[in-house]
């Protein structure tokens, strides 16, 4: 039977992660650490004997750069790659580009915490996690999942919140459960799916 392999990896540390800025749809690149994390992701996947038939990523360079470096470590630089804004990070609207500490000074600790950690409250001009799910999940169901179920070994390099949308469905998490889930930068999560798209096994390579 085919492998039905799906691997998710959050991009390596970005320049704005390092500066503690809200990033969202802004487009900074990886730091030196982020580059190292992306390469390490590729090495870890190679050590597990994995290779891929297709990859998906967002239209933002930090995710694309992570994917490129990961595939280079795997010796798969010519792999077909589909890029789509459905996999973009959550849009932080008016918070984008702001230092998180400065945002707390402007709007208050409690309000910023609500914007960051509630499921359905969006920052001004931006998206809630629920909004992010609403654009990410249809793309997963229509474009990514069919590849996996056909037995195409699939790699997705994206962002903390767009990947949470996929994890919420894969692991059947509640809104509260997904809010509590932190995704480390550059760490692959390996899923193998059953024929009905449920998870047969999961391996987090954070160790």
The full set of domains in the chain, from first to last, is 5-204 (3.40.50.1240)
Residue 2 has pLDDT above 80, yes or no: no
Structure tokens at 84: 């789509």
Instruction: Give the mean model confidence (pLDDT) for residues 20-25.
Output: 95
| Residue 158 reports pLDDT greater than 90 | yes
Which pLDDT does position 187 carry in this prediction?
A: 96
Q: What is the dihedral of CA 134, 135, 137, 141, to 10 degrees?
A: 130
CA–centroid distance for 185 within its chain:
9
> Which position among 11, 40, 152, 159 bears the catalytic label?
11
Is there a contact between 147 and 54 (Cβ–Cβ < 8 Å)?
yes
Tell me what pLDDT residue 52 has.
Answer: 97
Active-site choice (37, 40, 89, 127): 89
The residues pairing with 81 across neighbouring beta strands, listed in sequence order, are 55
Assess contact for 180 and 129: CB atoms under 8 A: no
Output DSSP code: residue 144. I
CA distance 21 to 62: 14
- Helix then strand count (H, E) for the chain reads 9, 6
pLDDT interval class at 48 (50, 70, 90): very high
Question: Using CB atoms within 10 A of its CB, is residue 32 exposed (0-12), middle (13-18) or buried (19+)?
Answer: exposed
207 pLDDT more than 90: no
Is the per-residue pLDDT at 47 higher than 60? yes
Q: How far is CA 51 from CA 39, 46, 73, in A?
A: 15, 7, 11
152 is catalytic: no
For residue 185, name the pLDDT band (cuts at 50, 70, 90).
Answer: very high
Average pLDDT for 187-194: 97
If pLDDT is split at 50, 70 and 90, which confidence band does 117 have? Answer: confident
Mean pLDDT for the chain overall: 95
At 177 the three-state DSSP class reads: helix
143 is catalytic: no
In this prediction, residue 206 carries a pLDDT of 86
């Amino acid at each position: 039977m085919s492998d039905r392999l799906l691997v998710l990896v959050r991009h390596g540390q970005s320049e704005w992660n390092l500066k503690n800025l809200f990033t969202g749809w802004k487009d900074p690149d990886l730091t030196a650490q982020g580059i190292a994390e992306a390469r390490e992701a590729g090495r870890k996947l190679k050590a597990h004997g994995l290779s891929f038939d297709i990859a998906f990523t967002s239209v933002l360079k930090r995710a694309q750069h992570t994917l490129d470096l990961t595939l280079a470590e795997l010796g798969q630089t010519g792999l077909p790659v589909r890029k789509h804004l459905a996999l973009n990070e959550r849009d932080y609207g008016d918070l984008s580009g702001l230092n998180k500490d400065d945002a707390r000074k402007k709007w208050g600790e409690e309000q910023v915490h609500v914007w960051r950690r509630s499921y359905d409250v969006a920052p001004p001009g931006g998206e809630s996690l629920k909004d992010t799910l609403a654009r990410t999940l249809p793309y997963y169901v229509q474009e990514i999942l069919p590849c996996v179920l056909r037995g195409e070994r699939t790699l997705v390099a994206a962002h903390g919140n767009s990947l949470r949308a996929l994890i919420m469905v894969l692991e059947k998490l509640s809104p509260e459960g997904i809010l509590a889930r932190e995704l480390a930068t550059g760490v692959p999560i390996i899923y193998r799916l059953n024929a009905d798209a449920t998870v047969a096994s999961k391996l987090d390579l954070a160790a």
